[in-house]
A and B are shown apart, each in its own frame.
Chain A
Amino acid sequence: MSKHPSSGRYAIIGLGVVAGPQPDHSERMVATEAARRAIEDAGLARKDIDGAIDLRRTGGAGDRANYTDAYSRLLGLRNGFYFTVGRGGALAGLGIATALSFLDRGIANYICLMGAVTDWSQAQQSRKHGHRGMVHAEKAGYWGKPLGDLRAVSHHSWMAARHMAVYGTTSRQLGAISVAQRAWACMNPEAKMYGRPITIEDHQNSPLVAEPYHLLDISLVSDGGIAFILTTADRAKDRPKSPVYVLGQGFDEVSAELWWEKKNFTHMAVRSAKKQAFGQAGLRLDEIDCAQLYDCFTGEVLFQLEDYGWCEKGEGGAFVASGAIGPGGSIPVNTGGGLLSCYHLGDLTGMAEAIRQLRGEAGERQVKDCNAVLTTGHGGELLSPGMCSIHTCTLLGRHP
């Protein structure tokens, strides 16, 4: 298939990860450290970085840009621009699309993109006041708050519930997603749940939070930061680490059609995003070696497996129950453990894992001959009742 001229012309050359609870560090210091590590990993100096993007959940749901200082200033970069990008869990995908427009015109040569959170540390504090889960609940102004719609699970669980009602999907089938991703996490020493395998029975016996979702259907609350350095393909060639090329990107919105068709509780806005990204890359779905699918809850993984076409709509339950997405399966999904079992840094979790898989740095969990990885982002519910998300698709490759 023919490729778009932009495909393979930009590459990720550095990755910096700060993982695990960070009770002794502020969010801005976690951010700064992640950026420092990415620059070091790229074999660059701080003076080389001429653009900085801060990936934040600000749009739609999530936190505001309530930083008091930017990581670029704290790190002493000589960047020509710094600003925030992101919406819900769609951070890296939107950040890459933005950065390319600066690289394309030679405005910048090396751009640092970084996202950091201290959700876990903040949740420990808020627990003392009787609140549960993420601190930044739905904002003031959200319709459902007085009715008990207080966290993402309060409305994301409708997606699983509706899919179950329409297609007969079962909680045990959703549990197969948790089990598969936990198996991957048990091969990733960086994962929060490393060394803690689970079974379907563990999933079924975990507490019901918002039925049909059990605790083990829900992503983790995490601290940490992930940064990466994006440059042009010609500059990427002589760096210490193998470049990871951006092959294609696509975007779609639930508000375009699905919301009006009331299909936003059984589908994600994949159609246009897939067409755009695969069209640019000149790739077919069966050429994808592993997928890093946004997994705030198990339902989102199920929907995307169907929406991308690894199985038919409504057959996702049987597909995951067959072992297709775990180690040894036909399409390895969320090979680092994902948001469910590794850590929750939005789509940066999957982006970092994709980079490691394409560099051959994934250790015990390395997917053999990994040449092309699909990563997705999702989030930023804009309407009441919710689930009016963006979907981002980014295809990354080992070769341009």
Chain B
Amino acid sequence: MAIDDQFYREFILDHYKNPRNFGRLEPADITHEEYNPLCGDLVGMDLQVRDGVIEDVRFHGRGCAISQASASLLTERLKGMSLDEARQISKDDVLDELGIDISPARLKCALLSLKVLKVGAYGLAGEEDEDEA
């Protein structure tokens, strides 16, 4: 009913069913995968970078609508962005774009692709613990 239409909004379902930039890039300058051990969700990302700018990006994986749609949305945002700019993308940016009220239990799903980017491109880990549900 209405309440779910609000959560599983049309554009989220659209990104889930028709993911943008889905697949692999070979060769890739940056490749990284992360699991969400809680639910087995997987997101991997391949990036091609020239002169510090993300020229192309693809993602692959499997999981719930939130993790996959969030990854798809992130790839759209990343294309053409410099690595320095991409580094500034915050959790709130990702959540704002999803635009839905994510329960603590589902935060990891929503932020999995951002983690892939941060760990893969910048070697930043240790961001996940505070989201532990």
Are A and B co-members of a single complex?
no
Residues of B at the A interface (CB closer than 8 Å) are: none
- Which residues of A line the B interface, CB within 8 A? none
